[in-house]
Amino acid sequence: MKIEFNSGAKADIRVIFTLNKDLGGAFVSDRALLEKVGFDGADESTALFAERGELYVGVEDENDPESFRIAAAKAIGVLKTLKVKSASIASYDKSGADRAKAIAFGLALGAYEFNEYKSKPKERSLEAIYFNAENYYGAKTDENAVKAAIGYALVVAEGVNFARDLVNRTPEDMTPSALANEAQKAAGEHQLKCEIKDESYLQQNGMGAMLAVGRASVNPPRLIHLIYKPEKAKKTVAIVGKGLTYDSGGLSLKPADYMSTMKADMSGGAAAIAIIKTAARLGLNIEIHAVIGAAENMIGGKAYKPDDVLRAKNGKTIEVKNTDAEGRLVLADCLCYAQENAPELDYIIDLATLTGACVVALGEYTSGVMGFNDDLKRSLLQSAKNGGELAAELPFNRHLKKLLKSEIADLSNCAPVRYGGAITAALFLSEFIEEKNRDKWAHLDIAGPSFVEKAWGVNPFGASGAAVRWAIDWLERL
């Protein structure tokens, strides 16, 4: 579907956003009729008058870009059900094109459908959405600014939708080697360097934690290293993603109802690939190393076991208390690898669907931000807000760290109590951050919003592409 600025294009239907619950503003042709059908202009409210070719959508707070994003996603949800080929939208910017960008984001993210496994996908008539030169405030629309804003939004939205596609595919199709193939394909398309490390490499380089997690699967693990290196880069950043293409829980087997969405345990890895390819498309002047630990956590005679002691790449030993605390084992080795193979790092950000405890703490729509550097955490929280994602800090403390003590190894892979589980998982990861890098590192637990079994905001059922918009905003602000 085409989304573009075209001031002269004729459309089958006009999309009208009502601002601040004002039903008498510009473009509103009949306030009484809107009130009659119960339309109040609240966020996510819509009113369709097909015979007049008008679709009204509420934007409750015109100063909130997320209201515009959600309104646009709601609009396209309605438009897709109609037998119309085109729709038009006016400009809602007093100056610049921030709202055009928000609307374009909402349209592109709301239009997403995953139909790979449908024998008969729904047929859609909608072919194009045009931004026109009309302006809600009667101002002159800056066509170049609007075109640039739409173009930017579409590039980032394509990155989000790419991550969604990877996560939505079945674990039978999206194996560690398949994810590595997707990374190689992205590298070829965007002039990135790509290195794929197999299980022999993991063995030879002392990556015993990641190797243990993947050893029971018929699909062996893969470490993926993508590199984007523009000339005269201002900063160097490692994005480390958890890529568990399926997580059965291992011998600490998950209950059946907790296992059905575990194809989404690779969301951090999918986001890392999407982030680096989007950064390359945008030409960001930041050197980026995306390191993804791809593995399947399965059961079988070769499975690692509770009571095993594993040795990570940095030499630390880990007593296994629960094989379902596997993502942190994979990330431990990947964090060590990133610090060894991406010299002079300015920042290290890891992305992971790491804990159900984070969902308990913050709900299924919000990611957790953890680390030692308050300024870094604040900048990440600001970028989450800018990008239209929800995030909150979970604070470290010395008492929770004591729960990772082991009597027979350097540390345990999980605490003996369930309380504070998101924080203890992050504190475990901190053991694999070199002292010189402590203030350069942050952990993002995206377990809640990465995969939700209902539509919400600009997201459909399933994968959301969590952290892609967020990370791109943060990288730009560097």
Distance CA 151, CA 104 (A): 9
> Cβ(192)–Cβ(315) under 8 Å?
no
Respond yes or no: is residue 402 known to be catalytic: no
Which CA distances in Å does 323 have to 20, 180, 428? 51, 24, 15
- In this structure, what token pair is assigned to residue 399? 């008492």
Q: Which of 74, 222, 313, 328 is catalytic?
A: 328
Q: What is the dihedral of CA 387, 180, 370, 446, to 10 degrees?
A: 60
31, 124, 254, 316: the catalytic one is 254
* Ordered DSSP codes for 119-187: SSPPP----EEEEEEEETTSPPP-HHHHHHHHHHHHHHHHHHHHHHHHHHS-TTTS-HHHHHHHHHHHH
Identify which of 389, 377, 179, 367 has the alpha carbon closest to the alpha carbon of residue 290.
Answer: 179
- Amino acid identity, position 268: G
Q: How many CB atoms lie within 10 A of CB 106?
A: 28
Residue 89 is encoded by which pair of tokens? 């939208």
| Strands 286-297 and 222-228, sheet pairing | antiparallel
Give DSSP secondary structure letters for 243-279.
Answer: EEEEE--TTSPPPHHHHTTGGGGGHHHHHHHHHHHHH
Token output for 42: 């609240």
Distance CA 222, CA 176 (A): 6
Let me know if 215 is a catalytic residue: no
Name the residue among 402, 429, 221, 229 with its Cα closest to residue 312: 429
Q: Is the dihedral of CA 267, 337, 442, 468 positive or negative?
A: negative
CB 268 within 8 A of CB 191: no
347 in Cβ contact with 234 (< 8 Å): no
Nearest CA to 420 out of 466, 348, 350, 370 is that of 370
Contacts of 151 (CB under 8 A, 6+ apart): none
Active site amino acids: 254, 328
